[in-house]
A and B are shown apart, each in its own frame.
Chain A
């Protein structure tokens, strides 16, 4: 051995290869733990029973509603298919909204709690590889649950009214939702020390981005001139903040609400200006002048919302992944921390 070691020689694409190796290492470790024993299969079975049971309930309800309202019509089967599709994509969206952030909520904070993060960060594996490996392994589990639900979702084809491209659109939104909300969970996990706190914050974030944005949107819409009173009316001017809501809420407010994105997908299956299309039209309020008859006949342009929603989720994911990498790195350049009492770092003697 020489007196002084020489730094390792550089390899072509070495950094990229190191990142891939790191992602594989972390991913394999995480999946080994996640899939070990009966737990994974029990959860998968419960998930399928839940989805299948829900599908049965929706189908029974839709069948009764359609036949009692209109008798046996030529489109009854398609109506049932659309109702089933709507119910399933919304249920799967809810499942993804719960599972994706929950799967990543402990990704980094658990490493801190178990005091294993130091062991990991003193290996050459990069912080990017740690973050992506954790995210991919957590999402692989969510993707597995989604893939397992495809046969149940495919039942809609037996009723009609929904095409394969609609199902693909719905699953694309689900995948985007999983990545977006998984990234949120991962970021929170990297930011806070305790998994319990990370889980609670994630839950609040999910509720805020779904229920919260919906409430704000409805309230804002109601306060503007398009619906309800006009801000310029006498008396409204004196209402302070409310008087500033002179324009309708921007549709971007709902970009991170995957339920709205799924309603846009469902809107694409409707043959008339149905409920979901009304919702999408209310959110986008698109000026239909110049839009072709094919798109405008039902009052809303198809595929107008969900691609933007996915793009927004993608941008947010990217930003949160970059921030998470900074938070995981022991030698990070930026210091992003939650405010806390000034004291010495835990785990350090001095």
Chain B
């Protein structure tokens, strides 16, 4: 085990349901690692095992060199955990909330005062210092919960669906905050359903389903390994309604699987090639005289990967080639 977060053969069973089925994990320091999967995939169970809230039935995991089985208390000192569903204490002000958790970590009073001010500034809750926690908006509570994970300056953050229930502005703010935390040297393991955001944010991802990792690594690498098809949308300037000509042209090109005319007047192209191939396709279209107004991916890469990998009959992925010094790696 070499990464700051590592797991080997994690298994967790609830009654007859196998929630995590032999998961291996290796996350290098400084990564923002995304855990992607449908509901019931085992993301939350994995995070709860890493957060020492669940004991695995088999296997072990280490965070910062401490085993979640043998030294859960040492693990708790190097990680901050934000659950997907969390509550707030009644009758507690914002600063008292952070003060309480800082006391739990045994932080001395003089350091607590300074740290609370810094954290409230970091999560942009400075003006709300004396506000009661229960009166904060959902987004503010989310930021406060994130701040509580930082009171002991942990090396690793485990964030379970941190953006759920947030409005778009709050999501953008949270994303910026996570980037800032990464720049401070934190390693962040984040699970989310909002795939485009994860794609923008994460340095690596793992797609997980039925307790197993189906694909892992950098999004571009996974895409290249899987050769997953991309969907492009092209808007072509034509006279009248004569879109059938361009559609037929696209359909006849190499690596194009499908080409359909959509109701908004665009052509949707199912493309089974890489970025080089897409560039060649566009160049060929322009070269053939098609008047292309726009040509862009219809969905994010991660979404395509996710749909492809978690499909009932998914692409069977070959194990990733060993890359010396590779920062991350998942295997099942």
Contacts and interface: CB of A to CB of B under 8 A. Distances in A.
B281 to A, nearest CB: 40
Interface in A1-30: 1-8, 17-18, 21-22, 24-25, 28-29
A116 B92 contact: no
19 contacts: A1-B29, A3-B29, A5-B66, A5-B78, A7-B65, A8-B74, A29-B96, A29-B103, A114-B90, A119-B101, A122-B51, A122-B53, A122-B81, A123-B101, A124-B73, A343-B15, A347-B85, A350-B17, A350-B20
A164 B222 CA distance: 81
Interface stretch (B38-46, B117-125, B237-245, B266-274): B38-46
Interface string A100-140: 00000000000001111011111111100000000000000
A28 B104 contact: no
A247 interface: no
B35 to A, nearest CB: 11
A292 interface: no
B72 interface: yes
B325 to A, nearest CB: 12
Interface in B46-66: 48, 51-55, 63-66
A272 to B, nearest CB: 53
Find the residue from B55, B76, B87 having the highest chain A CB count within 10 A. Answer: B87
A122 B54 contact: no
A33 interface: yes
Contact of B77 (A115, A116, A120, A124): A124
Given A29-B92, A33-B92, A122-B52, A115 B14 contact: no
Given A114-B88, A122-B79, 7 more contacts: A32-B91, A32-B96, A118-B51, A124-B104, A348-B19, A348-B44, A350-B20
Interface of A: 1-8, 17-18, 21-22, 24-25, 28-29, 32-33, 36-37, 113-116, 118-126, 330-331, 342-345, 347-350
Interface of B: 2-4, 14-15, 17, 19-20, 28-30, 39-45, 48, 51-55, 63-66, 71-74, 76-79, 81, 83-92, 96, 100-101, 103-106, 145, 148, 155, 185, 211
Tell me the dominant secondary structure on chain A's binding face: loop
A2 to B, nearest CB: 8
A7 B102 CA distance: 19
Chain B at the A interface: SS class: loop
A36 B96 CA distance: 13
Given A29-B92, A32-B92, A4 B104 contact: no
A24 B106 CA distance: 10
Nearest to B45: A350
B72 to A, nearest CB: 6
Contacts of A120: 104
Top 9 A-B pairs ranked by shortest CB distance?
A: A5-B64, A349-B44, A25-B103, A114-B87, A115-B87, A123-B104, A350-B19, A33-B91, A7-B74
